Amino acid sequence: MSSPFHRGEKVMANPLKFWFLLLLMWEPLPCCSLITVTPFLTRCTSNRMSCSGAITSRRSARSDVGESAYGVGMNQEDMMDSDMLVAVDAKDRPILDQIVSKKEAHVFSPDSPRGVAHRAFSVFLFNSNGEMLLTKRASSKITFPDVWTNTCCSHPLHNMIPNEVDEVDALPEFPGIKHAAIRKLKHELGISPKDVPHQDFRFLTRFHYWASDTLTYGSDAPWGEHEIDYCLMIQCPGTIQLDPNPEEVGEIQWVSADELRDLMLSSEGSSEQRLWSPWFRGIMERGGFTWWGDLEEALKEGSKYCNKDITYFDPPPEHTGSYNLPTHGQDMGVLKNSKQEH
């Protein structure tokens, strides 16, 4: 029997027959199944890449209520140019008359040795067993690729719906930061907003840190981080469906606090050491393990661990670039807020 497309003139003359024959020939495309939460390490790249077309179409077609189309059809370079970050002064007050792109904020050089200080958030997501979801940043990430870190690390942005730019007096709710966290958990890990309700996030504290990405690029690294980082914790009681984006995440792993301590210790001096993001190490050394050990309290509204502090720390020595000098103070890379100087 010849294909109906060899008889196109006759088929097209009868539109109903054309669609009927097309329906008979149609076969559903294979699609990757969602990754269900498991307590062991899962590699995200190979399975996702093998059927990227199917997943891309599913991602773009799905439209949960309030879900943003952020990141669809964009690569790392695109987001470097299009993401407009929230530059802040030393007191974390937004500088609204100086909008900086993600690229501008993360460029490190002798003229800009710590980039531009901006807002960020770090999400610590726990399952019902009290295990934290770790992620390994994808190899395609421009800053700090292939390092292990907490569940999700990113930035609130200007021009987003819902609004992600909080006033500094929005403590402790910080609704904009939480909206940003929901957006990026969806973008990076495929977590549905219904599994991470806005009201279930708990803000605890902020850290002001900087780090040059010398482990990737050497002592003259052109990229780095300089952030006032909001720590957000959330626990999901049920099964979480994960669909990691290989442009963002290389591997995932659920760990207990003791397992994370062992992983961090075993990485020191090992020939097969696991690299950790400098912000994650800094946070865990300055309260992270304490909050985890008292998770029920940390997740309460009005938790005793919630505060308005902004704790500053310098990076480990290996994250210091050739242009980072001992004479540089905490205000290096922090823009002045002309509207609120006093």
The residue to which tokens 């006033």 are assigned: 167
Is 44 in the active site?
no
CATH of the domain at 231: 3.90.79.10
Asked if the structure places residue 203 within a domain, the reply is: yes
Is 0.85 topped by the overall pTM?
A: no
Give the pLDDT of residue 332: 98
User: Which residue in the list 44, 131, 152, 153 is annotated as catalytic?
Assistant: 153
Q: How far apart are CA 109 and CA 100, in angstroms?
A: 16
Residue 208's beta-bridge partner residues?
Answer: 228, 312
CA proximity to 120, closest of 177, 190, 35, 64? 177
Per-residue pLDDT of the chain (342 residues; tens, 9 = 90+): 433 333 333 333 444 433 433 333 344 433 333 334 333 466 664 333 222 222 222 233 323 323 458 988 899 999 999 999 999 999 999 999 998 999 999 999 999 999 999 999 999 999 999 999 999 999 999 999 999 999 999 999 999 999 999 999 999 999 999 999 999 999 999 999 999 999 999 999 999 999 999 999 999 999 999 999 999 999 998 889 999 999 999 999 999 999 999 999 886 655 568 999 999 999 999 999 999 999 999 999 999 999 999 999 999 999 999 999 999 999 999 999 887 655
Count of Cβ atoms closer than 10 Å to residue 75 Cβ:
11
In the prediction, which pLDDT does 43 show? 66
Nearest to 282 by CA among 152, 122, 172: 122
State yes or no: is 272 an active-site residue. no
Q: What is the pLDDT of residue 238?
A: 85
Name the catalytic one among 164, 227, 247, 248. Answer: 227
Residues 155, 165: Cα–Cα separation, whole Å: 10
Comparing CA positions, the residue from 234, 219, 209 lying closest to residue 133 is 234
Q: Evaluate the CA torsion angle 169, 171, 174, 175 in order and state its sign.
A: negative
Give residues with Cβ within 8 angstroms of 144, minimum separation 6: 137, 213, 216, 225, 277, 278
Q: What is the pLDDT of residue 42?
A: 66
| Domain region containing 208 | 76-319
The answer to whether residue 57 sits within a structural domain is: no
Give a yes or no: residue 259 inside a domain. Answer: yes
Q: Are strands 152-154 and 118-126 parallel, antiparallel or unpaired?
A: antiparallel
User: Considering its fold, how many domains does the chain have in total?
Assistant: 1
The gap between the terminal CA atoms of the chain, to the nearest Å, is: 84
Check residue 268 and give its pLDDT: 66
Residue 204 and residue 305 in contact, taking contact as beta carbons nearer than 8 Å: yes
Is 152 within the bounds of a domain? yes
DSSP 107: B
